Amino acid sequence: MTPAIALVLLGLVDAAFSGFRAYAGTDARIRKQRFNARAAVRGLAVGAVLLLAPVLTAVLLLMTARDQGRTYDRLTAGGFGYLLPLTVYATAVLLSLAAYFALPFRASTLATVVGLGPLTLLRPLALAAACLGAVLNGGGGSALLVGTIAGAAVLCVEPAVHRRWYRHVQ
């Protein structure tokens, strides 16, 4: 069993949200569901490209390793260690989102103020925790390298989408 698929899916979902955030606050129209969706797709596309970096790094590490089996095992262990904090974070985000959309406006404010707002700021911290998890779970330097590149990739999606499509939008 490999954590790679779950990690890539998580990265792509995060990229879609990053695309939305890159667009949010640049358009004062009222009806903008279509534009929100487009921004999410743009985030997804940019994220898909950027996430090739950790994938290629992992492949390169495997191809150049003297003991491929051991390297694969270490990357797998590191991947699971990386996944755990991110799963906790993603669960908190999804619960906040569900509360935001399902509950009346007062409670949805709570979901935003306590959940969605602070959680956005905590993304780098969640990724740092994921890197730590990768090391602590036996991933070693190779898992830390892949994890760091993956973290940098997902953190770059929002600024990249904003700069490419929304910087001069009023």
Partner 1 sequence: MPLLEISDLITAVEPRSAHRLPVRRADVIRQLRESGDERAARLVAELPVDQDGVLDPHAVDRLLISVHTELQRLNEELRIGHRLVHLLGPLFTAIRSTAGQQGPYRLVDVGCGLGYAIRWLAATNALGADVELVGVDLDAALVGEADRLARAEDLDCRFVHGNAFDLPEAATVYISTGVLHHFRGPALAEFFQAQAASPALAFCHFDIAATRLAPIGARIFHRARMRNPLGRHDGVVSALRAHSDETLLRAAAVPGIRPLLYEPRGAVNPFCTTLRPIIGVRPHLEAPLRSALGRDARRIVGPEQLAEAGRR
In the complex, the residues that contact partner 1 under the rule CB under 8 A are 24-31, 105-110, 112-114, 116-118, 120-121, 162, 170
**SS3 (DSSP) at 49:** helix
With respect to partner 1, which residue has the nearer C-beta, 59 or 114? 114
DSSP string, 118-141: HHHHTHHHHHHHHHHHHIIIIIHH
Least CB distance to partner 1 at residue 100 (A): 8
Least CB distance to partner 1 at residue 107 (A): 7
Rounded CA gap, 147 and 133, in Å? 10
Least CB distance to partner 1 at residue 112 (A): 6
Rounded CA gap, 3 and 129, in Å? 17
With respect to partner 1, which residue has the nearer C-beta, 67 or 101? 101
